[in-house]
A and B are shown apart, each in its own frame.
Chain A
Amino acid sequence: MATKVHMEALSPTMEEGQLVQWLKAEGDDIANGDILAEIETDKATMELVARGEGVLRKIFLTAGGTAEVGSVIGVIAGADEDISGIAGVSGGGVTAAPTAPPEAPAEGAPMPAAQTLPAPEAPAVSASATSAPATTAAATLPASAANEGRVKASPLARRLAEEMGVDIARVPGSGPGGRVVKRDVEAAKASGVAAPVDTPATWASDGAEYEDIPTSQMRKAIAKRLVTSIGPVPTFYLTVDVDMGRVIEARKSINAMLEKDGMRVSINDILLKAIAAALRQHLNCNAQWHDGFVRRFSAVHLGVAVAIEDGLITPVIKNAHAKGIAQISAEVRELAGRAREKKLMPDEYTGSTFTVSNLGMLGIHEFTAIINPPESGILAVGGIVETPVVVDGEVTVRPRMRITMSCDHRVVDGAQGARFLQTLQGMLEEPTAILL
């Protein structure tokens, strides 16, 4: 029976061996255990031992040749045995030059283009808190402090923020190390702080052209209410341009006085006081149209428009005419805060006799507001703008502010409205007049 002579694994790591020399020749008698050849392995030169007996009939791999472990390099068989069916490795006699190592696969894909994430938008609204009237929308708290650009948030918070449409980068975190957690996201949602209103959204990847947002109760209420205003109410508008230099000075000295109490008042607080005082002198603007009569109020309950998430609400400073600026300031702050948390009681946002709306902090110079029925007037206050004006024949730069009054002509005539505005302007340009 024929015995194939194989290139054997003569070391555990050997994969191929080189035949150094045959110690037997074709035609030699072979006994089981005879040394047939010397093989050079990856480690040393080893002896290849015969595993059968007979005659070394065929040598396939000659001296110097290299073959892989397992390949047939010779045949031992009976002298007359037919071995034509046995195939062996060919070659040999070549030098030990190894075949060139296989090429590293050349299909190395190019590095995928770095995905660019949309750059986080800087909040469009200035974050200066000093002169921010309480009525500005989206008053920004400082973005989650000291984050070095990376937001620490729990996985749940991230998911909720995404679901709720809250910009997690602007949510202050109450967890360890400033981690934003679920309760922080929920709070941010409620107060509208981190509503990404001003951040232009990246294009929705599915390219939708519009989005239908279901109307909330608040929006329905505003719509219903104001449709009944500008529609049926015959409205006209009066604008004055006020020099705010004295108010600015007055504010400084008032705040100096209040410093020891840890309080500050804003321009708007002073403005509200002035409006209340002026209305006391023009109660015909502090009135309501009713079927068959006009109700004229002697007390001034000022509605202060506050923008909140998804809408607008007007908490009321009751008896504003009788309250000092500091008290008005505190009340406005407190009511506005709770307004944003949607925690006002109904009697806190109803019962105003006149309303003030200030969009100065959003960069508006001048606008017209819609009367809050059943009131008969509303003031739209713009921002203080350094403006070149002519004073005593010379051009100078003054801080100027525009106030536009909308009047219900059924209650207030043009002259009446104008006189009220004159009084108000006088008070603002000379604040001591408020004391009268």
Chain B
Amino acid sequence: MFSDGSDWKDAPGGARTCDVCGVDPATVHVLRFDGEGMNHSHLCQECAEGEAGQVEGAALVVAMPVPASAGVAHGRVFGGSVDENGELFSPLCVVCGTTLNDFRESGLFGCAACHELFRGHVAEVEESSVEGVEYQGKIPLRLPGDKTERREVIRLQRMLRELIDSERFEEAAGVRDRLTDIEADFPGRRVDG
């Protein structure tokens, strides 16, 4: 079975601060069972560690990440977008209609294209989820070849995107050719993701 608490999600928006210090963002939901009932508090990591040190006897403190429903920030802040006139505007995903405000409100991407559009607006504690480290997990079967070749395709796709972003089009064309060669070796499999 899966507990309700284990199905939690971090909230990307909101600005709840620690119940104790009132300064840092609350990132830990603390439940205290003291024999007479259960008390809830939302604390920053530092204050939560202080609380844990004060527990005595049969009391119990369970620290859980703050659930999305509590509307608590988890070290994430949104950057705004500014148009050519310096006015703030809310980007819109043309595929599913989700706006930056929708995303800020719900914390949910509306479709695959939303990831491209909105990830740049999430300044994370862990930069890896915006750009950062190479993806290391399972690769879809629809990419060509065996596991090693599929990982090579992923590497080349990543390189192609970076070269295009930095306007190094000649080198990008070379990488594109290598991807096309791989595709030719495995008819029916696509290399463009």
Q: Does A associate with B in a complex?
A: no
Q: Which residues of B contact A (CB under 8 A)?
A: none
Q: Spell out A's residues near B (CB within 8 Å).
A: none
